[in-house]
Amino acid sequence: MMTSKGKSIIIIAGLLCLISVIYFVEISNDFQKNHNEVLYNLQELKNLDNKLDRDVLLIRSGIIRHYNDLDNGLIKIEKSLKKLNTLFVNDFSLKYVDINKLQSKLSKKVKSKEKTINTLKSNIGVLRNSFMYYSNESHRLSLLFNMLDSEQLSNGLKWIVSTELPLFNTLIINLLRNPTSFDKELFSTHIQNFNSKINNVEELVFYNKLKILILHLEMIFERNYNVDTALNEISENSLIKVIDEIQSIYLDLFEENQKQISNYQKLIYLLSLILIFYCAKLLWMQLNTLHEMKEIAVHLGYQKQALDEHAIVSITDKNGIISEVNKHFCETFGINKNDIIGQNHNLIKSNYHTSGFYREIWETISVGKVWRGEIKDKKNDNEFVWLDQTIVPFLDAKNVIYQYVSIGTDITKQKKIEQDIEFQAYHDALTGLPNRRLLMDRLEQMSSLCKLHNYFGGLIFIDLDRFKTINDSLGHKIGDKLLIQVSERLNLCVGIEDTVARLGGDEFVILLPEVDDDINLVTLELQNKADEINRKIREPYLIEQHVLYTSASIGIALFPEMTQSSDCLKNADIALYKAKDAGRDCFRFFDASMQEAAEVRLLLENDLRDALLKNEFKMFFQPQYDYDNALIGAELLLRWEHHEKGLISPQQFIPIAEETGFIIKIGAWVLESGFKKIKYWNNRYPELSSLQRIAINVSPMQFMQSDFIDVVIRLIKETEVDPYRVEFEITEGMLFANIDETIEKIKQLQSLGISFSIDDFGTGYSSLSYLNKMPIEKLKIDQSFVRDLHLNSNNETIVQTIIFMATNLGMNVIAEGVETKEELEALNSMGCKKYQGYYFNRPMAEDDFEKILTSG
């Protein structure tokens, strides 16, 4: 008997031989294919070059008078060359040095050919032009000469027309007939001669024409020489010669290699023969042991039968391809045996576990260790199977894994019970909502996530008002049903990311993770949410013929805060009690300042509706100046004088007005009052030239109203304002929202006389490239760029670019927020000559502005 080591050596040697044979067969296939392609490509290159030469001929002869064919030909050659180069690289028969040699030789030739062709292109047209000019002009000159009275002509001219021109005609014919043997010296002597003779021509018309004629003669000579040289180069350095040369080098190399390969092949056949003899001997010995093996197999069969009855068994190869499964397996997974064999084991992978879990299994078994554990597999898209599984890797004599055997038992039922228990531990039995435990878990997670992302989340604590009364009077059964309906309504109020939890009794908590990063927006969002909840809870409930009403008190707290997350719930609870104290059916923020903000907002929203009626809006004007300190206009700014709170800044009330849509009414009021004021001032001070335009801000929502233009036209008619005194300030963002419609609107308003400027320019979507599409007269450089302009080089670049661009497009620029002399000077030196800002004046009331108007 042979030792197992000896056997494996034989087997490996046999395999190696087999692989080598296959390898060589494969290689010689590829080899032949590549080889054929190289030859084909070389032939193609030849054809392309032939075509290129033909096109050169056609162009030289004037049959074709454009260069597209030449260019296309060159591009094709270049492509073919590129392909050939890759084929060379893929060719086994070529060494690196050979490849390099072959590649560089051809590339060089192609490059030089391209250069020559470019020279030809540049010269041939010029030559043709000058030739045409010369033949036409010399002919014309002779005719002209013959028509004139020869008595009165100068001798110089006579000499040239009768002797020199015919001489040149002959020279040119010689040149065309045989450019190579053309006598250049003779030609240049004649040219010199001609040049000196021209000075004897007394007739100015002829003199000038002859001067130009000489230029063309020289051009013919020079260009013909260039064209000739180029053609010579093309004919002498034919690509075809090089291609042939390369082909023969290539074929030599190929043949040499072919011989080597066939030697190798012979050697391998010999080795294979020896091995076949060896194997035959081995087989004889194996037959003897076969009988013993059979007996063992019978015993094993019994064991297998027993295992099949109990367990789910599958066998895969080392790559996870299933090679065998038992009946139990097929029953559990509802699969036909024939369908699963040959498939990857991943087919039943559920992806329920983390990728780390699967990785761990693989890392265990792929090093030959046994893995045991519980795993959830997939029966089909909807059904899953839990297995208590053992995976055993099988190693061959070389300690290499060749198969895996998985043995498992179905534990799906046990798992289901386990999961139910777990669900109950984390959920409220009555409503199925998450309970306090799960809520605290999630709160902790979300809190740290928010900290990481710099976001805020919210916690809304809800307690039903007078629930105890319902419970006591109608019984627990009704009370429970009410709680279930409340929980359903709460679920409808929130998004998929949010958690609605029941803490017990009539206490619910809603967790809103990652609401926003802006604390003001978070406040607003939570406020709206609480409002919605209040409303929904207030709606009637129908429970067993009873129509019930209830309401909710709500406390709101934000996280993350500086404190622990459990405190957040406490904070919400505290806020809840504030809501109860305030008379129930309302909400309260834990944070005092947020509560205040919410209240102020609510108040402002209510008061804003009355502000117009109460006449609380005031127009302010901020004057605009030029560099000579002369008043040129003003921007109209809106102020709200609240009857209790005093002056409220636009930053506070404009966003509310925009959100509620009230901005439309306010905007219309501003337009009307502004127009009236302008009309009034124009009537009263007709002589004032300083009041060029008053700029009025138009909000996006207002501008986008479909009847905006009609409103403006109506107001112009009613107030009789001169539209040429009105300027609308719009923001950059508006321009790009609906570009075509916006342009159309602006153009219509401009046709009335109103001019347009862009406010806060540079802060929005400022691709300067779109600007010239816009029919805008003026840019307002945003104050953030003006601030410390002389100290900040980045701002300086931006401002400089804006000014340059605007000037180029014929737009005006004005800088807003000019506060210091230095900023003013810097702006002036960059070319911005109009300003607005505290350096000159703050925004002022109508009367104060009128004083400035009349004083200056």
Partner 1 sequence: MLMRLIYLLIALTLPTWVCSGDTSSPISASSRYKDEPILPIPLTITLDTRKIKLGERLFNDPQLSHNNLLACASCHQLLLGGDDGLARSITNQGKSDLINAPTIFNSVYNFRQTWRGAFRTLEHQAEADLKNPRHGASTWYEVLPKLNADVYYKRTFQSIYPEGITRETVLDSIATFEKSLITPNSKFDQYLRGNESAITKDEKEGYLYFKQYGCIACHQGVNIGGNVFQKFGLFADYFSDRGNITKADYGLFNVTGKEKDRFVFRVPSLRNVAITAPYLHDGSLKSLKKTIELMAIYQLGTTLPDEHIDKLEMFLKTLTGEYKGQSLVMKDAL
Q: Where on the chain is the footprint of partner 1 (CB under 8 A)?
A: 53, 57, 60-68, 71, 118, 121-122, 124-126, 128-130, 132-133, 135, 176, 212, 215-216, 219, 231-232, 234-235, 238, 766-770, 772-773, 775, 797-798, 800-805, 808-811
Contacts of 50 (CB under 8 A, 6+ apart): 240
Judge contact between 835 and 818, C-beta under 8 A.
Answer: yes
Judge contact between 220 and 134, C-beta under 8 A.
Answer: yes
Alpha carbons within 13 A on the beta-carbon side of 58: 14
Both tokens of 74, joined, read: 């060159």
Q: Which C-beta is closer to partner 1: that of 468 or that of 773?
A: 773
Q: Which C-beta is closer to partner 1: that of 355 or that of 767?
A: 767
Judge contact between 757 and 775, C-beta under 8 A.
Answer: no
Q: Which C-beta is closer to partner 1: that of 66 or that of 717?
A: 66
State the Cα–Cα distance between residues 78 and 72, nearest whole angstrom: 10
Cis peptide before 560 (omega within 30 of 0): yes
Q: Which C-beta is closer to partner 1: that of 257 or that of 801?
A: 801
Q: Which C-beta is closer to partner 1: that of 54 or that of 609?
A: 54
User: 375 by DSSP, 3-state: which?
Assistant: strand
The distance of closest approach from Cβ of residue 241 to partner 1 in the complex, given in angstroms and rounded to an integer, is 12
The distance of closest approach from Cβ of residue 211 to partner 1 in the complex, given in angstroms and rounded to an integer, is 10
State the Cα–Cα distance between residues 67 and 123, nearest whole angstrom: 12
Angle between helices 519-538 and 592-611 (to 10 degrees): 80
Contacts of 525 (CB under 8 A, 6+ apart): 458, 512, 515, 516
Backbone angles phi, psi at 558, to 5 degrees: -105, 150
Q: Which C-beta is closer to partner 1: that of 73 or that of 393?
A: 73
User: 394 by DSSP, 3-state: which?
Assistant: strand
The distance of closest approach from Cβ of residue 526 to partner 1 in the complex, given in angstroms and rounded to an integer, is 27
Q: Which C-beta is closer to partner 1: that of 677 or that of 778?
A: 778
Q: Which C-beta is closer to partner 1: that of 429 or that of 737?
A: 737
The distance of closest approach from Cβ of residue 744 to partner 1 in the complex, given in angstroms and rounded to an integer, is 13
The distance of closest approach from Cβ of residue 704 to partner 1 in the complex, given in angstroms and rounded to an integer, is 23
State the Cα–Cα distance between residues 394 and 373, nearest whole angstrom: 18
CA distances, 466 to each of 288, 427, 548, 572, 584 (Å): 94, 25, 11, 20, 10
Q: What is the largest CA-CA distance in the chain?
A: 142
Cα dihedral 166/168/172/177 (nearest 10): 60
Both tokens of 131, joined, read: 């030739």
The distance of closest approach from Cβ of residue 169 to partner 1 in the complex, given in angstroms and rounded to an integer, is 13
DSSP summary character for residue 152: G
Phi-psi category of 9—alpha, beta or left, where left has phi over 0 and alpha has psi -120 to 50?
A: alpha
Q: Which C-beta is closer to partner 1: that of 155 or that of 235?
A: 235
The distance of closest approach from Cβ of residue 392 to partner 1 in the complex, given in angstroms and rounded to an integer, is 39
Phi-psi category of 753—alpha, beta or left, where left has phi over 0 and alpha has psi -120 to 50?
A: left
The distance of closest approach from Cβ of residue 107 to partner 1 in the complex, given in angstroms and rounded to an integer, is 14
The distance of closest approach from Cβ of residue 764 to partner 1 in the complex, given in angstroms and rounded to an integer, is 12
In this structure, the number of other CB atoms found within 10 A of the CB of residue 772 comes to: 13
The distance of closest approach from Cβ of residue 125 to partner 1 in the complex, given in angstroms and rounded to an integer, is 3
The distance of closest approach from Cβ of residue 805 to partner 1 in the complex, given in angstroms and rounded to an integer, is 6
Q: Which C-beta is closer to partner 1: that of 80 or that of 471?
A: 80
Q: Which C-beta is closer to partner 1: that of 686 or that of 810?
A: 810
Residue with tokens 């539209």: 723
The distance of closest approach from Cβ of residue 795 to partner 1 in the complex, given in angstroms and rounded to an integer, is 12
Phi-psi category of 262—alpha, beta or left, where left has phi over 0 and alpha has psi -120 to 50?
A: alpha
The distance of closest approach from Cβ of residue 118 to partner 1 in the complex, given in angstroms and rounded to an integer, is 6
* Run of H or E residues at 641: strand 631-642
Judge contact between 499 and 550, C-beta under 8 A.
Answer: no
DSSP summary character for residue 65: -
Of 236, 176, 248, 226, nearest to 53 (Cα)? 236
Q: Which C-beta is closer to partner 1: that of 504 or that of 775?
A: 775
Q: Which C-beta is closer to partner 1: that of 219 or that of 462?
A: 219
Judge contact between 760 and 731, C-beta under 8 A.
Answer: yes
Q: Which C-beta is closer to partner 1: that of 218 or that of 672?
A: 218
The distance of closest approach from Cβ of residue 769 to partner 1 in the complex, given in angstroms and rounded to an integer, is 4
Q: Which C-beta is closer to partner 1: that of 228 or that of 324?
A: 228
The distance of closest approach from Cβ of residue 849 to partner 1 in the complex, given in angstroms and rounded to an integer, is 32
> What is the β-pairing status of strands 693-697 and 726-731?
parallel
- Measured in residues, the chain has a length of 856
Phi-psi category of 831—alpha, beta or left, where left has phi over 0 and alpha has psi -120 to 50?
A: left
Q: Which C-beta is closer to partner 1: that of 503 or that of 802?
A: 802
Cα dihedral across residues 633, 635, 638, 639: positive or negative: negative
State the Cα–Cα distance between residues 254 and 599, nearest whole angstrom: 91
The distance of closest approach from Cβ of residue 240 to partner 1 in the complex, given in angstroms and rounded to an integer, is 11
State the Cα–Cα distance between residues 261 and 258, nearest whole angstrom: 5
Of 784, 788, 798, nearest to 830 (Cα)? 798
